[in-house]
A and B are shown apart, each in its own frame.
Chain A
Amino acid sequence: MVRKILVSIIILTLFIGTSQAQEIEKGDVFIQNAHVITITDGIKENTDVWVKNGIIHQIGNQLQVPRDVPVIDASGKFLMPGIIDAHSHVALGAINEASSPITAEVKMEDVIDPFDIGIYRALAGGTTISHAMHGSANAIGGQNITLKHRYGTFNPDELVMEEAPRTIKFALGENPTRVHGRGKNLQPRSRMGVEAVIRNGFEEALQYKESWEAWNKVKDQKNNRQVPPTFNSRLETLLDILDGEIIIHCHSYRADEIYMLIQVCQDYGIDKIVFSHVNEGFKVAPELAKYTMGASVFSDWWAYKFEVYYSTAYNAAILTKNGVITSINSDSAELIRHLYHEAAKTQRYGGLSDEEALALITINPARQLGIDQWVGSIEEGKQADLVLFDKHPLSIYAIPQMTWVDGIKYFDREEDKTDQRLKVDPEETLEPMFLHADHINCMSDVDFYFTGFGRNLFEHNH
């Protein structure tokens, strides 16, 4: 008996020892007496939310306060699900591998920067999940990664939301044509070229698949004469897209190119596609509703280059009313701090309801990222990513007070320190000046070689 116990202890310690590195911290908290904005089930007044081991355990009135769990008095305050940003470049060490029109093989998970102060600032704005994307230099960019803002870890892997499905960046229009066409005299040089690059990529992937199938069939046979094909993770990834394993998030502006890619996807049987920016989305709203996983838009950002002139602040509302799964994203380390303001603009421009407006930054982006079964609303059994506001989050006066991820409080306005950096440069002595921060954006890391040599007339960023 003793031996059995000993053995099990040894096994247990071994298990703990090896799994420690990947163990994500989960918390318990009891939030009492809040206006709970559930998103999927209306507003619940004077309601308690009990979080147990990172999961929303129970929602209700006058719940029995559990023992040994921190209690937050939320009287008069508004609790909503953590805000989800479907298009971000926060916490990344590189954005664009702009050296080829297709770079489906590259993975943003390889360049996660857990020290980015932007994560903390996003938490201070109630954002708990961001979709860390490759840039828009290439027709088919890299594989994105969905991050949970567990600020404080030194391990980049601990920011990854493990449940999230794979996603990939596509980009249409001026960015890929400028970078590759004008910059390097490669295809694509026009919108037609962008389509050709994408179609050719898929065709090449199908041929690649055939060559591997042929090899796998004969490789173990006696007297096999066939030699192994070359491995190509770029084509492997394109195949995974064709197999429906990866959600496309496509940078796009114009209605014609949006409709073009919808048709390409139809031809190849792809239905997992979300369009990003989508400034002319209102023109193809029924098609977006029918054939895609929706559109992720700016509230009112446009005219920074030719293809973004035909735009309207009513875009999100029109898309929503047409049944398109719509989200509002930041694509900016600054906007990510007040996405609730961005959502509120749809009430001024389009008159969306509170629920519709808040869905734009919670459950809808969750659906677009394929994570809505875990996050995006306050429901029992979902992950406890929560933000507590002092006023209604769609009020211009609202300020986030506390933010939780997996039941762990990562932001508390009361405990906010002047210096929240995780890591400090040992040689840093200068007085930092924060008048201007470099914006990381869709075209970061597109270096001199790829910028189209000074033709970047509008210094545009997206």
Chain B
Amino acid sequence: MNVRDLLIPFSVSCLFLFILITQPLFGQSDRNGERRLGSSYVITNTTLIPSPGKILQNQHILFEEGIITAVGKDLSIPAAAQEIKGDSLFVYAGFIDMANKTGVVEPTLPEKPEGFDPSKPMPEIAGIHPHFNVTEYYQQSNPHDKAWRKLGFTLAQKLPLGKGMLPGTSALVIYGQEGKNNLIAEHQSIYFKFSTVGGVYPNTNLGVMATWRDLIQNARLYKKHLEMYAANRNISRLEKKPVLEALMPVINGDMPVLLEISDELDIRRALKMKDENEFRLVLTGINEGDKLIPLLKEKKVGAVLTLNLPEDPSSEIPSGEKSEDFETRMDRTKGAYKQSLALAGKYEAAGIPFALTTKHLPRGDFSKNLQLMVENGLSKDGALAALTVNPAKLLGIDDRTGTISEGKMANLLIMTDTLFTKGAAIQMVVSDGYVFDYSEKPEKGSKEEATWEYEAETQGGKSTGTWKINLSDGKWTGTITYEDPQGQGMKTSSIEDAVITEEKMQFSFTVSVGSDKLDVEVSGNLSGKKFTGDMKIIGYGTFPVKAVKKDKPEKSNG
């Protein structure tokens, strides 16, 4: 007797089911196991920091379908809500990154035609393409965004790339579930920078400033022509100019200009541009210019400071003989370094609700540099605000995110201790309601054991058993128990080829039935303490399987 014989009686009874359901096989609408079990979560009894400076104890946070539905001490918690025990945890609003470019590719520009005249390039060749939309060049599934999410970032303003002065419009994306379209808003601002393509007009800041002036004037004239054309007949046709069209929201005051600067003279140039032709201005990449703080405040300019702080000059003092004034010169350098670190604190003291950008920042320096800002005058609340509520306000989305309250997006950062406390680690990040578990993984060489109870829907009905999975020296091994197909009680096989990530688990095992061997592959998604996926018996079919982890810390979900 072999397995095939055993299965035959059941397949007969299943036959009519096949006839009834001609759609994909029952239980297999989620073949790749990407559907999560539910979208409803509750973080219980946690310490909540709903906005900078506020701290609430013993709070429950309920979120569902990506929205925070309730926050408070006494909530009626729906039965379906999956619990995240928050007793020892601290919940903050997820971080927001401004002027970020990870995952964005540079557009391919048109070839220069034969006999090309670099003094009159088409705008795209000159790096003037404000009509380009970053969403068309953004690769949502990129490793960088995931890595930033692991550091607490849940939402980012994506910048278009380009070598010239007007690369395009920015967009807002959420660092949520892969495979979904995570766009929040597009054409969110016009991105401007003091740079040029090289080899064509404009080639320096001289040409950039002049080009901007002409563009603004001509956008106004374009608008005038457009209005005339709309109101009257017998007006000559308006030649479509995508560049000017893209600037219309700027002259109308509907769209801000996100202007990237690299030093304080750039800030002066930006303010001059604003003085000459009024527009909503947000400066990004601010790294110096203490003296300009009052002016920026007076002119109500949005400010985004760079997290990319300079290297400590005292870390690499050259060896060898020093000239007599080396020390005094070194003191000035150190002073300038300290001044860079203190800049954020000065913005805070001046009452400018600034945000931060990670552009150009090596990921490994994020926490260190934030800490440096705090050690040099920025308050902890100020640092949190610069990563949450301030950017939300600058981006005009503070009614949706940046703080934690009912109705806001479920963008949360769950820490093991308060921010800036030594040893505080990120336990989980919730982005768009999806839970990403970053709880401490055991180190290589140590052991981890987990026992799972599973339930598979096979043709023969429900089949149950356990998986015992161990991590030993970086390698997953284990055993699976199952009901003997020959009705001889429970049997055990060893688990092979196990691959377990934060979001997925798969392994295979072999079932001996008499002299035959059945190869079985299990794969699916991890979601908290839950596994949901398929069990594929090679040669026979695929059956849904669910499992629940039996011991303490949970794995994650996607």
Contacts and interface: CB of A to CB of B under 8 A. Distances in A.
Asked if A and B bind, the verdict is yes
Interface of A: 21, 93-94, 96-101, 103, 105-108, 110-111, 113, 134, 142, 154-157, 180, 184, 186, 224-225, 227-234, 418-419, 421, 423-432, 445, 447, 449-450
A154 B263 CA distance: 12
Contact of B264 (A154, A157, A445): A154
Contacts of A423: 336
Top-10 shortest CB links A-B = A100-B119, A449-B199, A231-B217, A99-B201, A106-B206, A426-B336, A426-B337, A99-B203, A94-B204, A105-B210
B205 interface: yes
B446 interface: no
Interface in B271-301: 272, 291, 295
B333 A156 contact: no
A326 B329 CA distance: 43
Contacts of B339: 426
B118 A449 contact: yes
Point out which of A229, A431, A447 has the most chain B C-beta atoms below 10 A from its C-beta: A431
B333 A429 contact: yes
A142 B316 CA distance: 42
A101 B119 CA distance: 8
Contacts of A180: 119
23 contacts: A93-B205, A97-B203, A106-B206, A110-B269, A155-B291, A156-B265, A156-B268, A184-B117, A186-B117, A224-B228, A225-B235, A228-B225, A230-B218, A233-B214, A233-B217, A418-B325, A424-B332, A424-B333, A426-B333, A428-B336, A429-B330, A431-B323, A447-B203
Contact of B198 (A103, A225, A447): A447
Point out which of A97, A110, A142, A228 has the most chain B C-beta atoms below 10 A from its C-beta: A110
B325 A428 contact: no
B553 interface: no
Contacts of B200: 99
A97 B204 contact: yes
B232 to A, nearest CB: 8
Contact of A233 (B213, B225, B323, B325): B213
B14 to A, nearest CB: 72
Given A99-B200, A107-B209, A425-B333, A228 B224 contact: yes
B317 interface: yes
A417 to B, nearest CB: 9
Contact of A155 (B119, B232, B268, B269): B268
B210 A427 contact: no
B336 A110 contact: no
A103 B206 contact: yes
B313 A428 contact: yes
Contacts of B210: 97, 103, 105-107, 110, 233-234
Contacts of A227: 225, 228-229, 235-236, 238
Interface string B191-230: 0000000111111111101100110011001001100110
Contacts of A232: 214
B24 interface: no
Contacts of A432: 329
A192 B196 CA distance: 31
A165 B117 CA distance: 34
Chain B interface, DSSP helix/strand/loop, else mixed = helix
B118 to A, nearest CB: 6
B310 A419 contact: no
A445 B323 CA distance: 33
Given A94-B204, A105-B214, A233-B213, A99 B317 contact: no
Contacts of A424: 332-333, 335-336
B461 interface: no
Contacts of A154: 264, 291
A96 B204 contact: yes
A21 B213 contact: no
B395 to A, nearest CB: 29
B205 A429 contact: no
Contacts of B214: 105, 231-233
Given A107-B209, A426-B340, 6 more contacts: A93-B205, A157-B268, A419-B329, A426-B337, A429-B313, A449-B118
Contacts of A427: 310-311, 313, 333, 337
Contacts of A233: 210, 213-214, 217
A103 to B, nearest CB: 7
A186 B339 CA distance: 49
B292 to A, nearest CB: 8
B322 interface: yes
B443 to A, nearest CB: 35
A106 B118 CA distance: 17
B159 to A, nearest CB: 24
Given A227-B236, A419-B325, A94 B330 contact: no
A110 to B, nearest CB: 4
Contacts of B207: 97, 99, 103, 106
Contact of B201 (A93, A97, A155): A97
A180 B117 CA distance: 10
Contact of B205 (A103, A111, A447): A111
Contacts of A186: 117, 119
Given A225-B234, A228-B224, A98 B218 contact: no
Contacts of A418: 325, 328
Contacts of B205: 93-94, 110-111
